[in-house]
Amino acid sequence: MKIAVCGKGGSGKSTICALLAKSMTKKGHRVLVVDVDESNYGLHGLLGMERPDDIMDFFGGRSGYGKTMQSMREKKGASAFNEKWDMASIPHGYISERNGVRLAVIGKISNFGEGCACAMGSLSKQFLDNLSLKEDDVVIVDTEAGIEHLGRSIARGFDALLIIVDPSQESIRLSKKIEGIAKGNVSRTYLVLNKVDDGLRETLIDALGREKVAVSIPSNKELFKASLAGEELAANIEEIDEMADLLIHG
């Protein structure tokens, strides 16, 4: 199963990814979290891990992957990968693991003037398309903020798309745009309300449509403090477990 988690910046995508990964692992699934956000430097901390080397570095960094891309353009349909990878065969150093959850990082923008994130977007799609999954494997993709990853078809054919919505007009508008773009390209789409108290829940539901909202995750001070400190998220959130069950059983 492949799941993409998307939404606006600051909506809580990485927090949801980390908590969902832990929940899926407790339910007996092998879980790989893939960080495809070139500007997110905190996901590994929320999982209690050291950050692995970027998959981009496996190809010799941006310049090395650029040469690979040129070769791919010359050979239509070619892949950057010489063989299929599964969770166990991702090369040592390019994956971290803790308590059954694995993490792979595609690449990050690290230097002034190094250029756009096009190479990371291309490699993200190549990596996810190349990944071979077993029946109980779950891949959770933490996407970049906004919709560029949809423009690159990174989530095409995924089993589910989670759209994280926080209490803001921008988030409401973006969620509707994402829904429209994803329709027909992702099997299932769910709206997940996040950081919502009782006073705002019904307002958001009315704006989005009750039938479209899968779960509503309340504001949680302990989660906020852990995220702010970059510490591992240890909270058990009932709504996250409900979301995991919905994804597993449909």
- pLDDT at residue 114 tops 90: no
pLDDT at position 84, please? Answer: 92
Q: How far is CA 107 from CA 18, 49, 57, 77, 87, in A?
A: 18, 17, 8, 23, 18
Distance CA 40, CA 16 (A): 14
pLDDT at position 76, please? Answer: 67
- Span 230-236, mean pLDDT? 82
Distance of CA 7 to the CA centre of its chain: 10
- Span 72-92, mean pLDDT? 82
Choose which CATH entry (3.90.1150.10, 2.60.40.420, 3.40.50.1820, 3.40.50.300) describes domain 2-249.
3.40.50.300
Question: When comparing pLDDT for 21 and 122, which is higher?
Answer: 21
CA 118, 119, 121, 126 torsion-angle sign: positive
- Span 166-186, mean pLDDT? 88
- Span 89-112, mean pLDDT? 91
Helix boundaries (H) for 31-143: 43-46, 55-58, 61-74, 118-130
pLDDT band with cut points at 50, 70 and 90 for residue 232: confident
- Span 63-77, mean pLDDT? 76
pLDDT at position 75, please? Answer: 67
139 and 2 Cβ atoms separated by less than 8 Å: yes
pLDDT band with cut points at 50, 70 and 90 for residue 113: low
pLDDT at position 141, please? Answer: 96
- pLDDT at residue 199 tops 70: yes
5 and 194 Cβ atoms separated by less than 8 Å: no
- Span 195-199, mean pLDDT? 83
212-227 pLDDT, tens digit per residue, is: 899 999 888 888 888 8
The verdict on pTM exceeding 0.85 is yes
Instruction: Identify which of 62, 248, 51, 231 has the alpha carbon closest to the alpha carbon of residue 142.
Output: 51
- Span 155-160, mean pLDDT? 84
CA angle 41, 44, 49 (to 5 degrees): 145
Q: Kindly report the average pLDDT of the chain as a whole number.
A: 88
pLDDT at position 231, please? Answer: 84
- Span 128-152, mean pLDDT? 87
Amino acid making up residue 7:
G
pLDDT at position 77, please? Answer: 63
Distance CA 225, CA 189 (A): 29
| Spans of all domains in the chain | 2-249
Residues 6+ apart with CB under 8 A from 132: 84, 85, 86
